[in-house]
Chain A
């Protein structure tokens, strides 16, 4: 029996997985010093200003923190003079902080799970965190030169971050957030998206790949079917968060072998007031039957769409987890204790 990590590698590479990967079971999400140095919000924290000057809140009923954009809190007041407002925070950290992170990585059994550095927000997200969503989207159309300069500035900062991560923490995987769309479409026209982000991400993901990182997992819980070829060219191996609206079976047919699709179980299918284990089982089996069958279990990982293990309502993530385990035991003849012995204990991050 393969470990969870070996099994996930087989899924991604198109080898011989011996069961379905169970959501995030093979991905240990780990921090880097900047996430510890810039205020990291806990549920309930409101209006906390981070190292970029962006105000964030994390209400108890949301899956994560998000920026607050009342007019007084928008960082970039004038895109034509964005350099007056945007000041990249330092990435020089004391050894003690690196050591705290190194201990986290050392504590993970690397035979059972990928040691994945969690990086967020991404370039597109950071642009709208700084400008507000509406202004950022309009700026891409009305002030393309300024936005190109801003993205270049953010890319250089991310490359410096990547250098620190690779030389100090040696992760084998990167779990990188950047939501590129809504449930219905990509935010940007594909040609515009490509113009602003392809080269930038090729540089960032290329750096990681040339410095010991085996796989790039990119989170975007959205529709992105129209930009998948660009995402592949960026160097993304696994797209986590691919929602049902993308027609995931068709994506696997078209792009299996170039990208693995991790998702299909939208939060709204299971993560609501009054959810039941039957809802979780139905969603998990539906994902396995419709997407998992396309390429004999390859290039697909059934997973809740949100960008980390957990759910808004307590127990939902575990409900899906139990349903996938049950399927793996019944279908492939494993015992639950064997599955447990070959992976890390379940982690609930959110």
Chain B
């Protein structure tokens, strides 16, 4: 019952109520990993509904926020590495592009899917993507965002630099942003393109499974 309650509260984005519900469920003796899995499953449903235009960005955001609050309560009860157990992902908006809203939405959904995200922010030079990977060689995915047609060349340059790296076969490259298409992603040699944040989270899980 309490697990179902946690699921419902995350789905409905009740950030103020989730911490108490998670604590109550822990007190009942439910394993922290089970609660975490329940919240991830709730976010899967939220993501699917968003993808199908059944819910809107604010509803997805408050669900992700609610889950984050729940994870804060869970953290002391989880072994190191269990939060973010899907793996590590590096995310950034490419050089010359200051837009962060789309990238931030993707990060919220990717974290909600169980990834640990290193957020490089906006206007990220390609060298920074490369050096961050080399400092974090356990990274499974590098995500690059571009919102403008004028920064599509920078996205292509970034992916080209990653593709030329000796460790390329160990990491997947995801791209996205308003002007980006599957055709463009294929042309520049990315592994994956998704049109929205919820699809990105789903695809990320598939890429590492």
For residue B195, which residue of chain A has the nearest CB? Answer: A184
Contact A61 B58 (CB under 8 A): no
Q: Given A134-B101, A141-B58, A188-B58, check contact A62 B148 (CB 8 Å).
A: yes
Contact B61 A137 (CB under 8 A): yes
Whole-angstrom distance between the Cβ of B170 and the nearest chain A Cβ:
31
Partner of B56, one of A133, A142, A187: A187
B53 within 8 A of A: yes
User: Within residues 65 to 103 of chain B, which ones have a CB less than 8 A from any CB in chain A?
Assistant: 65, 96-101
User: Within residues 191 to 213 of chain A, which ones have a CB less than 8 A from any CB in chain B?
Assistant: 192
| Among listed B3-11, B137-145, B150-158, interface-contacting one | B150-158
B149 within 8 A of A: yes
Q: In the complex, what distance in Å separates the CA atom of A238 from the CA atom of B73? A: 50
For residue B154, which residue of chain A has the nearest CB? Answer: A61
Contact B56 A272 (CB under 8 A): no
Residues of A within 8 Å of B13, CB to CB, are 141-142
Contact A312 B56 (CB under 8 A): no
Residues of B within 8 Å of A342, CB to CB, are none
A325 within 8 A of B: no
Contact B196 A184 (CB under 8 A): yes
Residues of A within 8 Å of B45, CB to CB, are none
Q: Given A141-B13, A183-B178, A272-B179, check contact A312 B149 (CB 8 Å).
A: yes
Residues of B within 8 Å of A192, CB to CB, are 56, 58
Q: In the complex, what distance in Å separates the CA atom of A267 from the CA atom of B99? A: 17
Q: In the complex, what distance in Å separates the CA atom of A273 from the CA atom of B97? A: 15
Which residues of A are interface residues toward B (Cβ below 8 A)? 57, 59, 61-62, 66, 68-69, 133-134, 137-138, 140-142, 182-189, 192, 267-268, 271-273, 312-313
B59 within 8 A of A: yes
B15 within 8 A of A: yes
Partner of B98, one of A57, A137, A142, A182: A57
Given contacts A61-B97, A141-B58, 5 further A-B contacts (CB under 8 A): A134-B61, A141-B61, A183-B178, A184-B53, A272-B149
Contact A273 B149 (CB under 8 A): yes
B118 within 8 A of A: no
For residue B13, which residue of chain A has the nearest CB? Answer: A141
Partner of A61, one of B15, B96, B195: B96
Whole-angstrom distance between the Cβ of A179 and the nearest chain B Cβ:
11
Q: Given A68-B98, A134-B101, check contact A267 B62 (CB 8 Å).
A: no
Whole-angstrom distance between the Cβ of A67 and the nearest chain B Cβ:
10
Q: Given A69-B100, A184-B195, A268-B179, check contact A140 B151 (CB 8 Å).
A: no
Whole-angstrom distance between the Cβ of B15 and the nearest chain A Cβ:
7
Contact A62 B150 (CB under 8 A): yes
Contact B153 A273 (CB under 8 A): yes
Contact A142 B101 (CB under 8 A): no
B104 within 8 A of A: yes
Query: Can you list 16 A-B contacts (CB < 8 A)?
Result: A61-B148, A62-B98, A66-B98, A66-B99, A134-B104, A137-B58, A138-B61, A140-B58, A141-B62, A142-B13, A182-B178, A186-B56, A272-B179, A273-B149, A273-B150, A313-B149
Residue among B13, B96, B148, B196 having the largest count of chain A Cβ atoms under 10 Å:
B148
Whole-angstrom distance between the Cβ of A174 and the nearest chain B Cβ:
27
Partner of A141, one of B59, B148, B178: B59
B31 within 8 A of A: no
User: Within residues 121 to 151 of chain B, which ones have a CB less than 8 A from any CB in chain A?
Assistant: 148-151
Whole-angstrom distance between the Cβ of B180 and the nearest chain A Cβ:
9
- Which 6 A/B pairs are nearest by Cβ-Cβ distance? A61-B150, A137-B58, A272-B149, A268-B179, A133-B101, A189-B56
Partner of A137, one of B53, B55, B57, B178: B57
Q: Given A141-B59, A184-B196, check contact A268 B104 (CB 8 Å).
A: no
Contact B178 A142 (CB under 8 A): no
Q: Given A68-B98, A134-B104, A272-B179, check contact A312 B148 (CB 8 Å).
A: yes
Residues of B within 8 Å of A187, CB to CB, are 56-58
For residue B56, which residue of chain A has the nearest CB? Answer: A189
Contact B62 A138 (CB under 8 A): yes
Residues of B within 8 Å of A138, CB to CB, are 58, 61-62, 65
Residues of A within 8 Å of B62, CB to CB, are 138, 141-142
Q: In the complex, what distance in Å separates the CA atom of A272 from the CA atom of B178? A: 13
Contact A185 B98 (CB under 8 A): no
Q: In the complex, what distance in Å separates the CA atom of A185 from the CA atom of B49? A: 13
Residues of A within 8 Å of B105, CB to CB, are 134
Q: In the complex, what distance in Å separates the CA atom of A268 from the CA atom of B57? A: 23
Contact B65 A61 (CB under 8 A): no
Q: In the complex, what distance in Å separates the CA atom of A188 from the CA atom of B60? A: 11
For residue B179, which residue of chain A has the nearest CB? Answer: A268
Contact B149 A267 (CB under 8 A): yes
Q: In the complex, what distance in Å separates the CA atom of A184 from the CA atom of B53? A: 9
For residue A185, which residue of chain B has the nearest CB? Answer: B53
For residue A188, which residue of chain B has the nearest CB? Answer: B56
Q: In the complex, what distance in Å separates the CA atom of A248 from the CA atom of B187? A: 30
